[in-house]
Structure 1
Amino acid sequence: MAETGFFRGEGGHIWEMDLPLGEAHAKREKEGALVRVNEDGSPFTESAEEPTEPAVTHESPKKPNKASSKAEWVDWAVHQGADRDEAESLTLAVLIERYHGAE
């Protein structure tokens, strides 16, 4: 049986998709248009047994530019005070809109 994952699309609908994602869906995930979630829509975690605390970093992230990855924008949003799970659930476009002006 193929491994599957659940992904929330831009309209909020949750889709079950085969893993690994195909090229087009992987690109949409990288862009933030698809966000991996649990079946119930809660933020995705690899395993319930793994700690869900983000790794502690001591270096402040640099402000990303508009061409930066979603992960860089999530780190910047968290640095600006956002909840990591909430920031990860946002699309790249929304992250840029909300946090591009933040210093």
Structure 2
Amino acid sequence: MECFFKDPCFSHEEEYRVVFFQHDIDHNEAKYNQKVLFREKSGIITPYIEVRPLTSSKKLPIQSITIGPKNNVDNAQVGLEFLLIKQGYDSISVERSRIPLRY
């Protein structure tokens, strides 16, 4: 359950956590397996699903994005801003987290 709750030092981010259960009511796992994708980051495989907009505008209602602490925060910000502009999100505020990087 710990992964569902944020540390209080992150409360200012007003972030939502989304939980996806892979089984339907009949525990039919097979029909959901094709929706789960995987990505690798720093040697760790992470499952994820794509989230599509629920509005007719075809865009998610994103107001701002906070980049978490990382070594290459400059590169992360430039890449994210380029992606947002390319996807038509040119009025989204991109900020850096003030939480220190820890290992």
Provide TM-score, normalisation by structure 2: 0.26
Q: Greater CA radius of gyration, 1 or 2?
A: 2
Which structure dedicates a bigger proportion of its chain to helix?
Answer: 1
Higher RCO (C-alpha under 8 Å, 6+ residues apart): 1
Which structure dedicates a bigger proportion of its chain to strand?
Answer: 2
